[in-house]
Homo-oligomer: A and B are copies of this chain.
Amino acid sequence: MGPRWKGKGAEVRAQADPMSEIVSRLKSSLIESNAHGLLSGCSVLLAVEADQSDLLNRACFGRLVVTAEKDKQWFQLSMEEAFYLCYTLKCLGIHGGDNCRKTSEELWKYMTDNKTTFPEFFKAYSHLRAKNWVVRSGSQYGVEFVAYRHHPSLVHSEYAVLVLTEGDGGKNGRLRVWSDVHCTVRLCGSVAKALLVLYINKCGHGDASPSCVTLYSVEERVVARWSPKDCREDVNGD
């Protein structure tokens, strides 16, 4: 299918401003300011000033929360986003309700306790982010994530991402019957995305600590409808 850029010049602008560099700048800025977020239910809230707000927006982490505060802007990060900034990029501290910084292990326990699919979802999220895809929630398309080649203001999302795990009896429960496959592929087609299925194989490493995640393997498969009219050789010879 390929990327669908939004208007003329979008592709050139994206190439001139690689996502990897935007994320690098965000990382440096968060480390410099010793940034820390606050655990709040299934999200992490982060207060930043204008320059970091701009970087978070450009790197597509979290969403801006409207508040009455003038000098600070609040961002709501999903658990995957927060843990990626905290554990993978090591540029964000996260505090609990007691205002003490949580260790990676404490955060891991909190997040896996609150979301049983967190280990595989986080693996999928970080797998795509490490390849410089912009990853956002896919809930409006009935999938886990959508992946963009660059900022959503420049390009439409290219992949609808489902995360499945091998060997745990299909905790996620998707694509177990053909009708679900048909439904998902048809919906993806109607919104011009390819269905990317990430199979997470835990290779027997369990969920006990965040270091397990680095040992998981990821198999990527794009699922598409086979059209019977697709033919290897052109019968008409033209």
Residues of A within 8 A of B (CB): 138-144, 162, 172-174, 176-187, 190
Q: Chain A contact residues: over half helix, strand or loop, or mixed? A: helix
Residue on B nearest A181 in the bound complex, by CB: B142
How many copies altogether? 2
Residue of A141, A179, A182 with most chain B CB atoms under a 10 A cut-off: A179
Find chain B residues with CB under 8 A from A162 CB.
179
Tell me if B172 and A174 are in contact (CB < 8 A): no
Tell me if B186 and A141 are in contact (CB < 8 A): yes
Give 7 nearest A-B pairs by CB, closest first.
A142-B183, A142-B182, A173-B176, A187-B187, A173-B177, A142-B179, A183-B184
A237 vs chain B, min Cβ distance (A):
25
- Expressed in whole angstroms, the Cα–Cα distance for A38 and B174 within the complex equals 36
Find chain B residues with CB under 8 A from A184 CB.
142, 183
Tell me if A140 and B179 are in contact (CB < 8 A): no
